[in-house]
Chain A
Amino acid sequence: MYGLIWRSLPGPLAVRIGLAVVLAAAVGALFWCAVFPLLDELLPVDEVTVDH
């Protein structure tokens, strides 16, 4: 999987490393800003109120 992605990146080594970092950062940002807040709302880790 990662090998496939790495081989499909174009250009010399420096460019590939740069692209890989950008890709990883983009995926990370997607999770941090969109997926995790949604996940956090769906899976409340703690309930803090007293109720029935």
Chain B
Amino acid sequence: MSTIGNSVSSAPTSSADRARTNGRARMALQVVGELLFTVGVLFLFFVAYQFLGKPAEVAHAQERLDAGLEQAWQAPSASSAEPVTRPHRVHQGEPFVRLAVPGLDKRWAVVEGVSQAALRNGPGHYPGTAMPGKLGNFAVAGHRSSGVFLDLDRVSNGDVVAVETRDAWFTYRVYQRKIVQPDELGVIKPNPDRPGARPTRAVLTLTTCEPKWSSARRLIIHAELADVRTKH
């Protein structure tokens, strides 16, 4: 911009001369350039938010949910007299169990529901699918983002997935990892190995997107109940 004030006499073809004659056009170009630069910086900033800001938000929400879970479990209630795996009524967005993948060194408070709002805070349980340890399919969805299911593709057969409820720990062992189309509802059916058939065992299913940061397909982890330990 300082070149506009440069009145050094020079040849008519010099850049300073052209800048003077096309001052307005140059100004407009500069504004457009600065706007494009700003948009570019904001895009990069948004990417930084995806990698740093969002995981921090999830971590914060998880801390709050985990504390709420701990408080709810320690409070004496009628449900403590019920059988070990009997679920009490859980509302959408409320935390109700803990999920851990020791191989990834991760643990989450799982909320009820798989809406955008519910999944913002961490993994969510598909409503209507089985409760942990029960015959059928305990299905959980989570974002493929840092702090949630980013590294779920590193889970392999035989790995442990653990679920902690108010009254018990359930240990599942992974027996299948696969990639399916987004509309493949069979993977969360009570019997995911034979969708439509009656369940024959207690299964856990994790779903997330595949590949990372895409909605093209779904990464599915199936695990089978291997061990139950009651807390009391």
Contact = CB atoms under 8 A, between A and B. Distances in A.
B53 A41 contact: no
Contacts of B34: 1-2
12 contacts: A1-B31, A2-B34, A31-B46, A46-B143, A46-B212, A46-B213, A48-B141, A48-B209, A48-B218, A50-B185, A50-B218, A51-B183
Contacts, number: 74
Interface of A: 1-3, 28, 31-32, 36-37, 39-41, 44-52
B53 A46 contact: no
B54 to A, nearest CB: 7
A47 B45 contact: no
B213 A52 contact: no
B46 A41 contact: no
B53 A49 contact: no
Contact of A31 (B35, B42, B207): B42
The majority secondary structure among interface residues of chain B is: mixed
B16 interface: no
A4 B138 CA distance: 60
Nearest to B213: A45
Nearest to A28: B45
Interface size class of B (residues with CB under 8 A): 35 or more
Contacts of A41: 116, 120
Interface in B212-232: 212-215, 218, 220
A31 B1 CA distance: 29
A52 B186 CA distance: 11
B54 A40 contact: yes
